[in-house]
Structure 1
Amino acid sequence: MSQNRHIKLGFILHGVGRTWNDWRHPDRDVNASTSLAFYQKQAATAERGKFDLLFIADSLSITEKSSPHYLNRFEPITILSALAVTTSRIGLVGTLTVSYSEPFNVARQFASLDHLSGGRAGWNIVTSWLGDTAANFSKTEHPPHSVRYRIAGEYLDVVQGLWDSWEDGAHVADKESGRFVDPERLHRLDHKGEFFQVRGPLNIKRTPQGQPVIFQAGASDDGRNFAAKRAEVIFAHAPDLESGQAYYADVKARASGFGRDPGQLFVMPGIAPIVGDTDEDAEARYRELAALESIETGLGFLSRTFNDHDFHQYDLDAPFPDVEHIGINSQQSGTLGILAQVRAGNLTLRQVVERLATPRGAFVGSPETVADRLQQWFEAGAADGFMLFEPLPGQLDLFVDRVIPILQARGLFRTEYEGATLREHLGLAQPDNRFARKAAEKNAA
């Protein structure tokens, strides 16, 4: 099995749960989203299972309708920095928005995390889709969807330029000569663009990975183009094999169109596997999860997807309301995906809400059944790997202890980490330093 051809696995640290009512399960810790001990335990289990990475999602705006995990939770860089101390190999990936932060600070934060962890940091770039986020940052309106992706492109240019401002070897620290840095290898960025003016250099040296790994979750057309052009790992939503294959083929083709090697871009759909001793046992566990949910759960999810629109005003059994104009500047891919299902199935509001409240997914079954499905998606061109939620308490341990050994026996997953850094786990090349490359090209001319 080659390093680049095993299934890649990430685990999403999601505290009290990913839906509105997961926290009500009798075995769920209601303080999990702000419990260091809980995150340490899950991180240790995922690392024992040889997962590639841990992931922290984020949001900067809440209302009384928000799901419990997002109402009360850790800031991503803070908890990942703590986990850098209690883990040794697993990657540490956090979400940070380009719409409500500054490139210099972000470059510094992720460079610091990469140093703290010995080269295990990754940045999930988001543009923030909740329109009311602007009100928390002294702004009167949320940037339009297309503008947010222009901001993201320039923002990433700046951050990666700052990460390159120290070449390898710039930190001399020669006590005999008194030279702490080599000024020939320390560079100002002097960026002046449409949205940002940043001088540099960054005030921390080049990191163990050269640059932290770039993650993105592009699903709209703008998002897919950005991800295909700039990301190294894409988080994806794929409710079934066919949609997973279509998305996978699309972003890989776009990457090729941008002159990239599609083999250096990995697609990882999010899944919530439920493992039981048998398929019937797993189905019973799913019903246990579904019993916690309600129509209100689905209405809450729908409301947040459509920019906090109130769906209580509509008849549940009438055709789905005409709300396309409401969500177009928020979570565009999410709203368009729901509307596509509505049109395809002529769905009522109740039918949509029920689907959202109790998503089942394709990965419910015995350890062998779940392993079969993972292998099928991987080999059928729907995924390079998977991002796992834990839908019920204890499922991460079951996956590590029961499913991963099957994947290892089939040669589909590592038995040991390939290296020390996240790039080495994923099989990603370390980026060249742009200033060192220009100097080498000049000398060769």
Structure 2
Amino acid sequence: MMHLNLFIMGCGHHKAAWRHPNSAVEQLGDIAYYAQLAQIAERGLFDAVFFADGGTVGNVSDGSPWFMEPLTAIAAMSQATDKIGFISTVSSTFFTPFHAARMLASLDHISKGRIGWNVVTSMFDAEARNHGYQSMPPHADRYRRAEEFVQAVLALWDSWQDDALLFDRQGHYAHPDRVKPIHHEGEFFLVDGPLTVPRPIQGHPVLFQAGASEQGRTLAAQCAEAIYAVAYDLPAAQSYYRDIKRRVKAVGRTVDVPIMPGLVTYVAETEAQARAKQRELDELLPVEASLRQLGTFVGQDCMDWELDAPVPDLPPTSEFKGPQGRYTTMLRIIETEQPTVRQLLGRIAAGGGHCTMVGTPEQIADQMEHWFRNEGADGFNLMPPSLPGSIEDFVELVVPELQRRGLFRTEYEGSTLREHLGLDRPNH
């Protein structure tokens, strides 16, 4: 079966979504808004809701995707839902293993086994300066730290055995021989343990990863249980999919690791109506804010670029210091479509270069099925251009079409995120 996640980002992934007259921008500080989105996704039988995270505000005139701290929001959202999972980014660059392990284990207990962790290394110097660094550590250092971070977190989750708790009022609260320190001492971290939280419901919250660089792919192959990807088109998706599956086997893992590219959809009863929805958002897009977003994606100042001229030459991926998956996608869009700067701004307004599908429920389902059956995806991380409208459209129109084709569940068969993803629980 196909896997589906809802990627919540502010009022939607389109840069101008918050400007729409019907946007929910005034509700971004209201947890009821996020609970409603989770409930819509649960009605659509999605595997999980996903939150990215960031450590800077950016230009506040352009709108900001950050309001609620994700882990705090998830704690509340889990109480408004019954089955759907919750995944949050937690940075291995800025957190410590004990802190992350404790929060994620607590959430797994709060949600009764519905938590996942998206392991990232963070990207930008502006974030680093909010966490005690002058600039981001070198790329290779960040990934060595991330690998050690994951090892320490897993050890902390395993520091309590499954049967450690006794609750014997005449004797032990927990069996002393089943709660052990981990005595981790590595290049970056010193962690004695044990964790202050008993073993999570799922054993380990599910580990997600989204790296596109060489080190990111290596980390994903070694430890990820599910993977988010950036894929502009099917050939790009297939290249990444086949490479990751090969790497997973090469390190001796026999588990199936689902790969879920980001997907932006505009769907309506007719293709014309779907394209009108896309155009309506594109027309709200301020050029200055769009150029700033493009500058973030390509790592340079674009403010004086000529809007109706071809995109200036950009350096190869090997010379780019930012997030390489997104940058590679930018280069692929430019090479394939040869857009003007103005056309490129519209193309990346929603999803920043992730695959975009526009059309009827049947057209969208056709394309998703084609990717699913041809080594492009095991599912998708949906990035609705506007919220809640775009996810309501998808749940009401596309999900029934996928179900008719036997590609998507008609009911939840389990109650944990691991069960939704078909992953075994690690016992200890």
Same fold (TM over 0.5): yes
Structure 2 CA distance for aligned equivalents of residues 341 and 20 of structure 1: 18
Q: Distance in 2 between matches of 1:357 and 1:179?
A: 58
1:153-201 per-position Cα deviation (integer Å, ceiling 9, x unaligned)? 000000000000000111111113x211111111110000000010000
The answer (yes or no) to whether the contact 1:163–1:202 under 8 Å persists in 2 is: yes
Give 2:227's aligned residue: 234
Name the stretch that deviates more: 123-132 or 296-305: 296-305
- 2:88–2:116 Cα contact (<8 Å) kept: yes
Which of 369, 382, 386 is matched with 1:388 structurally? 382
Change in CA separation of 1:158 and 1:324 when aligned onto 2, cut-off 3 Å: same
Query: What are the equivalent positions in structure 2 for 1:233-252 lying under 5 Å apart?
Result: 233-252=226-245
In structure 2, what is the equivalent of residue 13 of structure 1? Answer: 8
Query: What secondary structure is seen at the aligned counterpart in 1 of 2:162?
Result: coil
Residue 151 of structure 2 corresponds to which residue in structure 1?
157
* 2:400 pairs with 1:405: yes
Q: CA deviation digits over 1:68-100, x for unaligned, max 9?
A: 233x41111000000111111100111110111
Contact in 1 for aligned 2:88/2:118 (Cα 8 Å) = yes
Aligned residue for 1:370?
A: 364
CA contact (8 A) 2:262 2:382 kept: yes
Q: How much does 1:362 deviate?
A: 4.2
Cα deviation digits, residues 399-426 of structure 1 (max 9, x gap): 1122111211221111111111100111
1:36 aligns with 2:21: no
Q: Paired residue for 1:202?
A: 195
Query: Which amino acid is 2:416 matched to?
Result: T
Q: 1:341 Cα deviation (Å)?
A: 4.4
Give % identity.
Answer: 40
**Contact 1:295–1:354, Cα closer than 8 Å, also in 2:** no
Q: How far did residue 332 of structure 1 move?
A: 2.5
Which of 54, 58, 66 is the aligned partner of 2:53? Answer: 58
The match for 1:356 is 348
CA distance in 1, matches of 2:338, 2:277: 30
Instruction: Measure the CA separation in 2 of the matches of 1:66 and 1:254.
Output: 43
| Residue identity opposite 1:41 in structure 2 | Q
How much has 1:218 moved relative to structure 2?
Answer: 1.1
What is the deviation of 1:389? 1.7
Written as runs of structure 1 = structure 2, the 5 A alignment for 1:326-341 is: 328-341=320-333
| Matched positions, count | 424
Cα pair 2:152 2:191 within 8 Å, conserved? yes
Residues in 2 aligned to 1:156 and 1:31: alpha-carbon distance in whole angstroms:
37
Q: CA deviation at 1:322?
A: 4.7
**Offset of residue 339 of structure 1:** 3.4
Alpha-carbon distance between aligned partners in 2 of 1:318 and 1:364, rounded to the nearest angstrom: 25
Aligned equivalent of 2:44: 49
Cα distance, 1:409–1:165 mapped onto 2, change above 3 Å: same
Shift in alpha-carbon separation, 1:362–1:77, aligned structure 2, 3 A: closer
Question: Alpha-carbon deviations, 1:329-355, whole Å to 9, x = none?
Answer: 322222233235445666664554443
**Aligned-CA RMSD value:** 2.1
Structure 2 unaligned regions, length at least 5:
none
Larger RCO (alpha carbons 8 Å, 6+ apart): 2
Call closer, same or farther: CA 1:174–1:52 in 2, change over 3 Å.
same
- For residue 102 of structure 1, the aligned residue among 81, 86, 96 is 96
Is the CA contact (8 Å cut-off) linking 1:362 and 1:373 kept in structure 2? no
- Please report how far the alpha carbon of residue 296 of structure 1 lies from its aligned counterpart in structure 2 after TM superposition: 2.7
- Please tell me whether residue 310 in structure 1 is matched to residue 301 in structure 2: yes
Q: Distance in 2 between matches of 1:79 and 1:319?
A: 40
Mapped contact 1:320–1:347 kept (Cα < 8 A): no
Residues 10-66 of structure 1: per-residue CA shift (max 9 Å, x gap): 001222222331111111011243221111111111111110000111101232178
Q: Which of 127-136 and 193-202 deviates more?
A: 127-136
- When residues 13 and 50 of structure 1 are mapped into structure 2, their CA distance, relative to the original with a 3 A threshold, is same
**Deviation, structure 1 residue 360:** 8.8
Q: Distance in 2 between matches of 1:145 and 1:276?
A: 42
Q: Does 1:272 align with 2:279?
A: no
Question: In 2, Cα distance between the equivalents of 1:202 and 1:342?
Answer: 49
CA 1:75–1:67: 2 relative to 1, 3 Å = farther
Quickly say closer, same or farther: Cα 1:112–1:100, change in 2 above 3 A: same
Distance 1:353 1:274, change over 3 A: closer
More displaced, 99-108 or 287-296? 287-296
Aligned to 1:228, the other structure's residue is in SS state helix
Q: Please tell me whether residue 260 in structure 1 is matched to residue 253 in structure 2.
A: yes
Query: TM-score w.r.t. structure 2 length?
Result: 0.93
Matched position secondary structure for 2:201: coil
Aligned to 1:3: none
Distance in 2 between residues matched to 1:326 and 1:228, nearest whole Å = 21
Residue 76 of structure 2 aligns with which residue?
Answer: 82
Contact 1:21 1:297 in 2 (8 A): no
Greater shift, 188-197 or 341-350, is seen at: 341-350
Check the 8 A contact 1:107/1:159 in 2, yes or no.
Answer: yes
Counterpart of 1:441 in structure 2 is none
Contact 1:15 1:34 in 2 (8 A): no
Deviation of the 1:384 alpha carbon: 0.5
Distance 1:213 1:313, change over 3 A: same
Shift of 1:387: 0.9
In the alignment, the residues of structure 2 paired with residue 258 and residue 335 of structure 1 have an alpha-carbon distance, to the nearest angstrom, of: 27
Q: CA deviation at 1:374?
A: 1.5
Structure 1 residues 291 and 149, CA, compared in 2 at 3 Å: closer, same or farther? same
Structure 1 contact 44–87 (Cα < 8 Å) conserved: yes
Asked if structure 2 preserves the Cα contact closer than 8 Å seen for 1:17 and 1:391, the reply is yes
